[in-house]
Chains A and B, each alone.
Chain A
Amino acid sequence: MKHFKYLSIPYIIWLVILVVLPLLAMLFLSLTESDGFDFSTIKFSFSNWASLFNTAYLSAFWNSIKIAGISTIICILIGYPISYIISTSKLKNKMALIMILILPMRSNQLLRIIAWEKIFYPTSIINSLGISLDLIGTDFAVIFATVTIYLPFMILPTFTVLEKLDKSYVEASYDLGVSRIGTFFKVTLPMSSKGIMSGIIMVFLPASTGFAITERLGGGKIIMIGNIIENFFKRSFNYNMGSMVSLVVILVIMGAIVLLSKFDKEGETLI
């Protein structure tokens, strides 16, 4: 089948055009001042990049890292034990239970965010249950919603590697007299690090770059980098500044992709 190599060429060209070309366009836009995509008054300038260290952007970057970082850690602390419990259980239909845990992400994500918003205000439908929450604008609300939205992205890759893990290594460790806890930290955990790594990237990247959760639950108080980008591209139409901020985000993501490729060469934990 080697002569089908040529079938990959159109796809590679397509990827290069749609991945690399926009990057060059963004670099160009970030180094200029123009009136949207009207280039009649275009001039080159470094002013966009000079304003990168503006406190508003720095605090948005910091918020993104903080909220996505805490959410990712919580996702590991909840998601990994779930995968571990299910994969080591004697259940016949483990996959069905994993499906039940994964399925909520097939329901409209935006509406699930709105569902939390609806009960996080003091006046809400859960008042009839005698509960009144006032959480809009708190870090807790944003982190809680982020965890509930992205937890399945941690469960799936960690479960996949734990299921594929050769159980005879674990048995060998027990036979050699290592305790259950010792075996977990010396055998199971290192052997499933690939899944955890995929999970971290699949939770952290979307969590740190999203804008809908902070937009709906942040009450205008919590601004993340996604909100800044959305604002430049969809509200103030300052594509030059938007491109500059996006490029910084892309650099971080590219680093993460290269890092992941060291762990998972064929992308098998991605789906």
Chain B
Amino acid sequence: MRKNKISITSILKWVFIGVIIFILYLPIIIIFVLSIDSSKTGNTFSGFTFDWYIEIFTNRSLYMSIITSFAVALMATCISAFLGTFAAIGIHALSKKVKSKVFLLNNIPVLNADIVTGISIMIICSFLVTIIPNLFGYRTMLLAHVFFTMPYVILSVLPKLNEMDPNLYDAATDLGLKPMKALWTVVIPAIETGIISGALLAFTLSIDDFVISYFTSGNGVQNFSNWIYVRLGRRNFTPAAYAYSSLLTFVILLVVLAPQFKKSNKKGDLQR
């Protein structure tokens, strides 16, 4: 009797998780349905089409915004991963007391509301516009993206630095390597996984960003999310945006989930 009761509650548990997974994926399914719906407004389903997938490559303003998203995300990721790693090594070397203060500062861009981060960078740049005209655009967007992604790289690298055997570096310098050389040949390989997961996180956050880019771009430069936002409900909106997003989501699902099912559970490498 008791055994039977346990199995019912355990079924209910998994049904609960199943329902939640369904609700979380429903918007993605809806976007996919809209991407193959021939109706331009997306208010009714009027038949299958793949035209919107072709339009991704023919609608100039759309594919320019997609290129902008990728260009900014790639550049921001490289800069954040590179500078963030060195900043993390520096923070790791600080005394405990100073470290906790730097952590507090480092967490501000992570926890701060996107709208506040966006406005902060926008205001700083607006003051600079008098010196550098037409500043708003790629440069301001890149600055903002580096600003909000770098703390994530640092948060991913620091635990790896804590795990690393501190004697590793001392051994390298004792064997005659110069500090920078030792850093490059011994420390960086030891914290590599942290750098890679931090960079991946930076890239995914940057490419999807809407709010921060909305406030910091300008002069006609738009990333994909901004492109959608200003066109919603207007005639120049096209379901090709749904098509592109469905493709991208599919690729992300594949890239992230495939290795998860290949190798068995590897603890510790949590990724957002």
Contact = CB atoms under 8 A, between A and B. Distances in A.
Interface of A: 1-12, 14-19, 21-23, 25-26, 29, 37, 78, 81-82, 85-86, 92-97, 99-116, 118-119, 121, 123-125, 127-128, 148, 151-152, 156, 160, 163, 201-202, 205-206, 208-212, 216, 226, 229-230, 233-234, 239, 242-243, 246, 249-250, 253, 256-258, 260-261, 265-268, 270-271
B175 to A, nearest CB: 15
Instruction: Give the size category of B's interface with A.
Output: 35 or more
Given A25-B127, A253-B111, A82 B86 contact: no
A111 B270 contact: no
Interface in B82-130: 83, 86-87, 89-94, 100, 102-116, 119-124, 126-127, 129-130
A239 B21 contact: no
B97 to A, nearest CB: 12
Contacts, number: 282
Interface of B: 13, 16-17, 20-21, 23-28, 30-31, 33-34, 37, 42-45, 83, 86-87, 89-94, 100, 102-116, 119-124, 126-127, 129-130, 147, 150, 152, 154-156, 158-159, 166, 169, 179, 183, 187, 201, 204, 208, 210-211, 214-215, 224-225, 228-229, 232, 241-242, 245, 248-249, 252-253, 256-257, 260-261, 264-267, 270-272
B228 A111 contact: yes
Given A12-B102, A108-B245, A249 B116 contact: yes
A110 B225 contact: yes
Contact of A125 (B37, B106, B120, B130): B37
B155 A270 contact: yes
B266 A95 contact: yes
A115 B111 contact: no
A130 to B, nearest CB: 13
A267 B228 contact: no
Given A1-B89, A95-B260, A115-B28, A15 B204 contact: no
Given A103-B253, A108-B208, A151 B108 contact: no
B272 A102 contact: yes
Given A1-B187, A212-B211, A261-B104, A125 B33 contact: yes
Given A11-B91, A18-B147, A104-B27, A25 B124 contact: yes
A8 B17 contact: no
Contacts of A206: 113-114
Given A7-B90, A246-B116, A267-B106, A85 B17 contact: yes
